[in-house]
Structure 1
Amino acid sequence: MDKCHPSRKQLFHRFGGAVWRFAIVVVGLFAAWPELAQAITISHNDALRVGKRVWQNECGGTISGLTSWNQAEDFASLGIGHFIWYPKGRQGPFEESFPKLVSFVSKRGATLPTLLLGVGRVQPCPWNSRAEFLQAQNTVEMNQLRGFLVDTIDLQAEFLVARLEAALPKMLAEAAPAERSNVQQQFERLTKTPQGCYALIDYVNFKGEGVLHTER
């Protein structure tokens, strides 16, 4: 099943170095919001709402859309955030995020299917190609994987929030010194509400933070 949005390679060529400039514009749109001077917090209910919104936006709200592998890509894209999972011996310009997600949700008590046991220790994707992945669409392993992803929508959203929070220092490091204070202030204002978190999550997760040169 193909993803319901352009591949990362297509986004790379389409947006290029404009990612960081646009991210600053997005943050600036919320400059009137009250300032937040603490870590990003989100309730379980808000996390579930944000997660379902990302799921609908990126996968059409379908279960099959939670497991995909785009043409011309060398990795599986899983979950509401299309988290990357590389097969053994593969690496690319994009950060591998699925093992980190598995570790995150496991630490929060989620039960892992057999396929994912050990994945938090950076086990490789068991499918070596898109062809193998597509052939496995109706297997027990794939259905268990989809069930796990459906059951952890809220935790996936919390992972996206944590990833967003971790992105700020990297964004500040790349920003011009004169812009850093304003960028941080607007970032904190934007993340004060679930709607603001969603806006930044949607952009940072799918267009990139603008700090990895390989993703520009």
Structure 2
Amino acid sequence: MIALSCLVGQRAAAALSLSHQESLRIGRQIWQNECGGTVAGLTSWNAGEDFASLGIGHFIWYPAGESGPFEESFPKLLAYVKKQGAKLPGPLLPPNTDCPWNSRAQFLAAASTPEMIQLRKFLAGTIDLQADFLVRRLQEALPKMLSAAPASKRAAIERNFNRVAGSAQGCYALIDYVNFKGEGVLATERYHDRGWGLLQVIEGMSGGGEGAAATREFAESAEAVLRKRVRNAPAERHEARWLTGWLNRVATYRSG
């Protein structure tokens, strides 16, 4: 059982209990969302992006010299799985702290190399640990959001978070979205000073329903936040090309 207690100071803001099987189910759904649940999709580099996307959560890994506006999550995953006793393959051992492929072209050209095959095998063999990592990220999200929000909004944010987290489907929605678009607390993850992370979705909720009603409201707010992101995005990023896929992903929050 993974018991998640999101703490703010000494006060428990949320407590979620998910069995290993439940966290694995959520992890596999996120894997499906990211790349159709394929082993080949565990090593990806999407067009228009400056980083590799690895594992079931398409965790971001930047090449040396790149930082980008989005939070890098793959090194954190590696630290977690290593702590759990997993043996890292050669391509992930020091000094390879940065992505060893410097561009999407290099990455795609290396798709059938021994190093990439070894990396893919490692990722396919640690699905359960990656799922646990995804769940645990949510443990850290609420304190971050409350810390970033104005004091006047914190009670509503905590209340809405807990409404969604009150059901298994709501837990999936929260875990998927925070992996998908982040917590929404980084100043670099803004267009025209408007974020698109979990914080912004929860701030957009104003109802009082529980269970399925709360999850539906969360999905509606997520759709609105993502549409606003696309409207605010720099024209050269052409983010409208991704919107249909994003909305299809959010639609899975309503089912189940």
Using the TM superposition, give the Cα deviation of residue 182 of structure 1 relative to its aligned residue in structure 2, in angstroms. Answer: 2.8
Asked if residue 63 in structure 1 is aligned to residue 39 in structure 2, the reply is: yes
Give the superposed CA RMSD.
Answer: 2.0
By how many angstroms is 1:102 displaced? 0.6
Question: Paired residue for 1:127?
Answer: 101
Aligned residue number for residue 81 of structure 1: 57
Shift in CA distance, 201/38, structure 1 to aligned 2, threshold 3 Å: closer
Shift of 1:192: 4.9
Matched residue of 1:109: which SS?
Answer: coil
1:150 aligns with 2:124: yes
Q: Is the 8 Å Cα contact of residues 40 and 161 (structure 1) preserved in structure 2? A: no
The answer on 1:105 being equivalent to 2:72 is: no
Q: How does 1:20-39 map to 2 (within 5 A)?
A: 39=15
Q: Secondary structure at the match of 1:213?
A: coil
Name which one, 1 or 2, has greater alpha-carbon Rg: 2
Q: Which amino acid aligns with 1:144?
A: Q
Matches of 1:91 and 1:47, distance apart in 2:
30
- The question of whether the paired residues in 1 share the 8 Å contact of 2:61 and 2:73 is answered with yes
Which amino acid in structure 2 is aligned with residue 84 of structure 1? I
Residue 185 of structure 2 corresponds to 211
SS of match in other structure, 1:164: helix
AA aligned opposite 1:208: G
* 1:209 to partner: Cα distance: 1.7
Stretches (4+) displaced over 3 A: 36-41, 188-194
Q: TM-score, normalised by structure 2?
A: 0.64
Contact 1:66 1:80 in 2 (8 A): yes
Structure 1 residue 199 corresponds to structure 2 residue 173: yes
Shift of 1:201: 1.5
After superposition, the C-alpha distances for 1:153-176 in whole angstroms (9 at most, x for unaligned) are: 221121112212211122112333
Q: Quote the offset at 1:195 in angstroms.
A: 2.5
Q: Is the 8 A contact 1:101 1:156 kept in 2?
A: yes
1:42-82 Cα offsets, whole Å, 9 max, x none, are: 32211211111111121101111111112222111101111
- Using the size of structure 1 for normalisation, the TM-score is 0.75
- SS at the partner of 2:87? coil
Task: Give the whole-Å Cα distance in 2 for the aligned partners of 1:40 and 1:101.
Answer: 21
Task: Name the stretch that deviates more: 185-194 or 90-99.
Answer: 185-194
Query: Which has the bigger relative contact order, CA under 8 A and spacing at least 6?
Result: 1
User: Does the CA contact (< 8 Å) of 1:80 and 1:156 recur in 2?
Assistant: yes
Distance of 1:90 and 1:138 partners within structure 2: 24
5+ residue gaps, structure 2, are: 1-11, 191-256
Q: Unaligned stretches of 5+ in structure 1?
A: 1-35
Match of 1:45 in 2: 21
